């Protein structure tokens, strides 16, 4: 039986974040191959973490900068190691290389953090993103991690193109893997136009682009409310801080709801999803949830980025300026024909790009192809080999220094 080891950044929280849902879809795909799957992480447990044991997935807590990991991975002897985000590859990659050099190394980027960081910097300065923003120290670390890995999973088609054309990464090292959805599980009929009311926005409050979205909605909402005085905006998300709950204002219809036990249920109850995203990366789980329950969405160009092709209609409206965003929200909320058309576009996009069966088969095929030609695959990635030799040495010795320092404390 093939043995898989996941080195996670955090314990998966599929009901709190799109990253958690994405990780669970990968873990379940591995289990469907009848592979032995173990999830390890140095992170502390969290209140919304899924019970992996119920999924038939064993778990292990691991420690940063500690030789105990060497013993652990040597005993487990995985055939495949998947790093959850590049920081885990930085921390543990050299130890995996030392103890299990033949193991296939997969990096799940979730989204390109260097892109999200660059856009955030530009947004704070109220200017377009520049090449200097993108070519940051963070980018050097993240791209190096991608090059050291045998396969890197890229969730967005936009980021695939960015890596290939801007960073000149060989396509053989990359695999496009958006959210994998079991389309047969989703309802074909949902609540009707007249059975729904109000607007919704949702997203983990700890994620900076989501918090910025809430602040931006504070500017947008009064204009919508003026035209639709009976409408309310319900904002959901895990881990709302006091500064978020302080914005709760029922008199203006601006409701901070906090944690949602079932995101799809609250999404289906509402007529329109609002997602005025101004910076970030990857693809947006909230917009897929909206399509699943046939709730049209209004988002920005950045919000819909990498989720559909340029010639494909969006499942609602894409608007980048406040005025056009407001007018789109008012029209779509009031126009039943346009609302139904947006629903149809969403269903088309789901089947075209997010079918679990097709995406899963493609990913497993990629793994098998690289495994069968692993020596040649690595031989053709000289830059990655060079980075392993140099940068991993620095990481290794820094980690060993910290480990020795920690021993002195005990």
Query: Does the predicted TM-score (pTM) go above 0.75?
Result: yes
pLDDT value of residue 391: 64
Same domain, 32 and 60: yes
Q: How far is CA 52 from CA 47, 59, 76, 191, in A?
A: 14, 7, 18, 32
Tell me the mean pLDDT in the region 250-258. 96
pLDDT given for residue 295 in this prediction = 98
Task: Examine the domain organization and report whether 241 and 335 are in the same domain.
Answer: yes
pLDDT value of position 409: 67
**CA of residue 296 relative to chain centroid, distance:** 21
Q: Give the model's pLDDT for residue 145.
A: 96
Q: Do 287 and 390 fall into the same domain? A: no
State the pLDDT at residue 410: 60
- pLDDT value of residue 402: 73
Helices 322-334 and 208-227: crossing angle in degrees, nearest 10, is 60
What is the domain range of residue 267? 184-353
Residues 226, 247: one domain?
Answer: yes
Could you report the per-residue pLDDT of 12-71, keeping only the tens digit for each?
999 888 899 999 999 999 999 999 999 999 999 888 899 999 999 999 999 999 999 999
pLDDT tens for 331-374 read: 999 999 999 999 999 999 999 999 999 999 999 999 999 999 99
Give the whole-number percent of the chain exceeding pLDDT 70.
97
Q: Are residues 13 and 36 in the same domain?
A: yes
Q: Half-sphere exposure of 76 toward its Cβ, with a 13 Å CA cutoff?
A: 26
Same-domain pairing of 121 and 8? yes
Is residue 187 scored above 90 in pLDDT?
Answer: no
Residue 81 and residue 107: Cα distance in Å, rounded?
9
How many Å apart are CA 210 and CA 295, to the nearest integer?
19
Inform me whether the pLDDT recorded for 396 exceeds 80: no
> How many domains does the chain divide into?
2
Domain boundary among 353, 369, 384: 353
Average pLDDT over residues 182-186: 91
Q: State which of 353, 378, 394 marks the end of a domain.
A: 353
* pLDDT reading at 307 higher than 70: yes
Contact between 274 and 217 (Cβ < 8 Å): yes
Q: What pLDDT was estimated at residue 29?
A: 98
Same domain, 159 and 39: yes
Q: 242 with 149, same domain?
A: no
- The rounded distance, in Å, linking the Cα atoms of 5 and 26 is 12
Q: Of 311, 330, 353, which residue sits at a domain end? A: 353
- Give the CATH number of the domain where residue 88 resides: 3.40.50.2000
Q: How many other β-carbons are positioned within 10 Å of the β-carbon of residue 265?
A: 10
304 band by pLDDT with thresholds 50, 70 and 90? very high
Average pLDDT of the chain, as a whole number: 94
Across residues 132-137, what is the average pLDDT? 97
Same domain, 83 and 217: no
Band of residue 188 on the pLDDT scale cut at 50, 70, 90: confident
pLDDT at residue 399 in the model: 67
Q: What is the pLDDT of residue 16?
A: 81
Query: Same domain for 332 and 213?
Result: yes
Could you tell me the two tokens for 46?
A: 């969290």
Tens-digit pLDDT profile for residues 266-296? 999 999 999 999 999 999 999 999 999 999 9
Same domain, 170 and 266: no
209 and 282 fall within a common domain? yes
What's the pLDDT tens digit per position in 87-105?
Answer: 999 999 999 999 999 999 9
């Amino acid at each position: 039986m093939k043995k898989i080891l996941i080195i996670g950044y955090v314990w998966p929280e599929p009901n709190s974040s799109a990253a958690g849902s994405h990780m669970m879809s990968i873990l379940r795909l591995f289990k469907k191959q009848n592979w032995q799957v173990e999830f390890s992480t140095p992170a502390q447990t969290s209140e919304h973490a899924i019970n992996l044991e119920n999924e038939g997935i064993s778990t292990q807590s691991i420690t940063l900068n500690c030789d105990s990991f060497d013993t652990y991975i040597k005993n487990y002897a995985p055939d495949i190691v998947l790093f959850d985000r590049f920081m885990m590859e930085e921390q543990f990659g050299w130890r995996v290389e030392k103890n299990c050099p033949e193991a296939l190394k997969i990096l799940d980027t979730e989204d390109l953090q260097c892109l999200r960081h660059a856009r955030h910097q530009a947004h704070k300065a109220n200017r377009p993103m520049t090449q200097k923003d993108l070519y940051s120290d963070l980018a050097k670390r993240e791209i190096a991690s991608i090059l050291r890995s045998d396969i890197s999973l890229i969730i967005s088609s936009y980021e695939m193109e960015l890596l290939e054309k801007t960073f000149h990464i060989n396509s053989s090292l990359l695999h496009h893997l958006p959210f994998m959805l079991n389309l047969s599980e989703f309802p074909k009929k949902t609540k009707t136009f007249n059975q729904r009311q109000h607007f919704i926005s949702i997203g983990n409050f700890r994620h900076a682009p989501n918090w910025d979205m809430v602040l931006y909605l504070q500017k947008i909402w009064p204009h919508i409310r003026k035209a639709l005085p009976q409408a309310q905006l319900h904002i959901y998300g895990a881990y709302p801080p006091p500064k978020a709950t302080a914005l709760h204002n029922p008199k203006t219809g601006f409701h901070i709801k906090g944690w949602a036990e079932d995101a799809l249920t609250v999404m289906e109850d509402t007529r329109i999803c609002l997602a005025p995203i101004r910076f970030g990366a990857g693809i947006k789980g909230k917009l897929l949830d909206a399509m699943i329950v046939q709730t049209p969405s209004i988002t920005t160009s950045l919000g819909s980025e990498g989720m559909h092709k340029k010639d494909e209609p969006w499942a609602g409206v894409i608007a980048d300026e406040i005025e056009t965003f407001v007018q789109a929200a008012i029209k779509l909320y009031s126009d039943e024909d346009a609302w139904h058309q947006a629903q149809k576009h969403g269903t088309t996009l789901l089947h075209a790009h997010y079918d679990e069966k097709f995406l899963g088969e493609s990913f497993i095929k990629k793994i098998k192809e690289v495994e069968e030609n692993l020596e040649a695959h690595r031989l053709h990635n000289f830059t990655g080999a060079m980075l392993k030799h140099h940068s991993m040495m620095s990481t290794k010795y820094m980690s060993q220094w910290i480990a020795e320092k920690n021993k002195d404390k005990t």
